[in-house]
Structure 1
């Protein structure tokens, strides 16, 4: 049986091209569409905190998605600002990105993944086994989101 994610890679943004794609996807897919009153700041200090890893999702070598993986503690990670390029949404890429992020969390010995889900995306996360609740995460729950989590 073939691996459904064999053409995908989730890896830290490294090159100038990775960073340009990372910021463009976040700006267009999240801020312009879902948070139009909030200006996008590519130099937001959260991006550079220890334990925060800005990642790109590659599909057949093209950057099509982004997520920041934040270490919360020894058992938990937070997936932040998850986005897929507008022109390839609804193609299973978000599902692939979550599967790879969860796999990485498991490999690092984590047992929970926590997401602040935008209200328009809650159904997507619920279908993938996430549940709303009081998940242990010190980060604030931004307006227009619901905290969801998953035990791995």
Structure 2
């Protein structure tokens, strides 16, 4: 069973989220059957990826960066976070209390520990802060974890 981690942009415009959903599903189809998705379930690319994995018959493992992680997500994403977390076959909880850049990067590193490939839903630009997608891509490449960049034509960062 191939294990695919995800890192990607948050706060995606609705049109971009739809484009990314299609592109993620297309990319996942190449690994079916038997996909395990690894996600932190942040709003945006993480939740799009997690839902696609489950819809396509895969299983989901979640890495929760910090005890206060959910509270740091936009309120409109809490219901989806709770639902997806409830569908996870395994949850890894890091020991951080506060949801910070450091805890997010540590969670990404934890996902990479178990990943065969990283799906980077990424426009190729530098991270806006430590622990962003560009940093996760750099970490994956340093570890020699294959990176698959997913950024469909017409997609825009929020």
Shorter chain as denominator, the TM-score bin is 0.3 to 0.5
Q: Which has the larger radius of gyration?
A: 1
Q: Which has the higher helix share?
A: 2
TM-score, with normalisation over the residues of structure 1? 0.32
TM-score, with normalisation over the residues of structure 2? 0.31
Structure with greater contact order relative to length (CA < 8 Å, sep ≥ 6): 2
Q: Which has the higher strand share?
A: 1
